[in-house]
């Protein structure tokens, strides 16, 4: 059937009219809304972000330099010849957003351990944007590298972002209560479309596309619908992180971080940011490992970067000192035993000196297989100077068996806090 010439001409005319209208609208929006952009200015984070930064360095807008060694770890000038290795996993809080490498809390913890006679290198694998799912996969990968000889792991979580990051990642899901990996990942459709828009040169510069996309995604509504399933997934990811470390007889300390705006207030909705923080903070003690809740450290506004949720230099110092206090007990042979029910996150001695997931004696009770390899090479365990720990009074806490060892990590600056030695 032959199409009349007039019909073809009408279609072409309509097509060019639409194009002209779009160009006109786009030009008007560029003049009227010169700074309009997406309300979701970041793409989905992938595991290779850790690998891509290896051997690179860059400066951020605040003049802070981020340098990474060939392994992808943020460098901080750790002392050579260290006999212990601590792996730090986390997000931008661990990486050290806005502070120099020597001021990150992993670097502070390493320096603090050195003053106590514990020679350690702290591998800072904190990666901006990582959630619990990313950290679990990186933990599995790095623990398999025997040349790293990892003696302990510090696993930092940020409930404010992690449940969203798990949803965007799509790499894990629960199947009949069990954690199942998804390869390829099951990326939510909204996240997929967002990444398409962010990855397209023309779409990124179109004000019209930005208006439609922001309206379609409800502004900042790239967050998932937080629900009981999201909470259950976060719990299983944390349980799997602990199981992964225990399977290799490597002690793990979990650090729960609150942003600056979460220091005050309480949950008003079942799944709001305070509810997410409270859920994770109540879940971690049930995993029977040493843990830290940053809200219990007496942090104030000065311990955060102004107009930002990350730790300032002083905040990193408080956290680093606290982490060092937790690590002393697992890096020194005579205090490697943990209690299966440590109160208030303290490292307490178990009756038989058994490390959870390990044995009463042997590698697990003495710092794991890495420490055992060093002893077979004839390296003596490092001595440790006396130290005190200042903490809030906890009537359920059991003191360490050796009263000659005390751990002191700054002060609890909250009103009414009672200092006790544990």
Determine the pLDDT at residue 399.
Answer: 35
Determine the pLDDT at residue 249.
Answer: 94
Determine the pLDDT at residue 10.
Answer: 83
All residues at 6 or more sequence positions from 269 whose CB lies less than 8 Å from its CB, including other chains: 275
Using alpha carbons, select from 279, 273, 269 the residue that is nearest to residue 223.
273
Beta strand 390-392 with 419-421: parallel, antiparallel or unpaired? Answer: antiparallel
CB 386 within 8 A of CB 404: yes
In this structure, whether the domain defined by 73-184+225-385 belongs to CATH 3.40.50.1110 is answered with: yes
Determine the pLDDT at residue 120.
Answer: 92
How far is Cα of residue 80 from the mean position of the Cα atoms in its chain?
26
Domain boundaries, the chain: 1-32, 73-184+225-385
If you search the block for the tokens 């205090």, which residue do you land on?
335
CA separation for the pair 313, 293 (Å, rounded):
18
Determine the pLDDT at residue 270.
Answer: 87
Per run of 10 residues, the mean pLDDT along the chain (length 422 residues) is: 70 89 88 81 88 94 90 78 90 96 96 92 95 98 96 96 91 94 91 84 85 70 74 97 96 96 88 93 96 96 93 98 93 48 35 33 38 38 34 36 34 35 26
Which pTM was predicted? 0.75
CA separation for the pair 317, 111 (Å, rounded):
10
Determine the pLDDT at residue 389.
Answer: 36
CA separation for the pair 282, 267 (Å, rounded):
14
161-177 burial, b at 16+ Cβ within 10 Å, e below that, comes to bbbbbbbbbbbbbeeee
């Amino acid at each position: 059937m032959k199409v009349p010439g007039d019909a073809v001409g009408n279609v072409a005319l309509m097509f060019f009219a639409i194009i002209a209208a779009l160009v006109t609208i786009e030009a008007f929006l560029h003049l009227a809304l010169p700074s309009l952009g997406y309300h979701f200015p970041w793409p989905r984070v992938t595991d290779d972000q850790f690998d891509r930064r290896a051997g690179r360095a860059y400066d951020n807008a605040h003049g802070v330099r981020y340098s990474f060694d060939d392994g992808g770890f943020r460098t901080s000038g750790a002392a050579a010849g260290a006999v212990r290795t601590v792996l730090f996993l986390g997000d931008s809080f661990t990486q050290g957003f806005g502070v120099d490498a020597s001021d990150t809390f992993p670097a502070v913890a390493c320096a603090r351990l050195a003053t106590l006679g514990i020679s350690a290198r702290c591998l800072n694998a904190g990666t901006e944007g990582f959630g619990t799912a990313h950290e679990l996969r990186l933990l599995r990968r790095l623990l398999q590298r025997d040349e790293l000889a990892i003696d302990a792991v510090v696993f930092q979580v940020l409930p404010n972002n992690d449940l969203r990051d798990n949803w965007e990642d799509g790499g894990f899901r629960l199947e009949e209560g069990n954690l199942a990996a998804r390869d390829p990942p099951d990326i939510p459709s909204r996240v997929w479309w967002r990444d398409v828009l962010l990855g397209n040169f023309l779409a990124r510069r179109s004000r019209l596309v930005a208006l439609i996309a922001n309206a379609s995604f409800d502004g900042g509504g790239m967050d998932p619908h937080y629900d009981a399933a999201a909470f259950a997934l976060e719990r299983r990811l944390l349980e799997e992180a602990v199981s992964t470390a225990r399977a290799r007889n490597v002690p793990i300390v979990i650090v729960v971080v609150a942003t600056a705006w979460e220091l005050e207030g309480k949950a008003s909705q079942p799944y709001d940011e305070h509810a997410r923080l409270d859920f994770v903070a109540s879940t971690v003690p049930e995993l029977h490992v040493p843990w830290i809740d940053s809200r219990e450290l007496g942090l104030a506004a000065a311990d955060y970067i102004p107009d930002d949720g990350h730790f300032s230099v002083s905040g990193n110092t408080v956290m680093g000192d606290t982490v060092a206090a937790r690590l002393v007990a697992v890096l020194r042979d005579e205090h490697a035993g943990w209690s299966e029910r440590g109160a208030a996150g303290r490292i307490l001695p178990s009756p038989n000196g058994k490390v959870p997931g390990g044995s009463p004696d042997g590698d697990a009770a003495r710092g794991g297989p890495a420490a055992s390899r060093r002893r077979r090479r004839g390296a003596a365990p490092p001595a440790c100077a006396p130290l005190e720990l200042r903490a809030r009074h906890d009537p359920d806490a059991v003191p360490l068996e050796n009263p000659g060892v005390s751990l002191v990590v700054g002060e609890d600056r909250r009103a009414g806090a009672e200092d006790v030695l544990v």
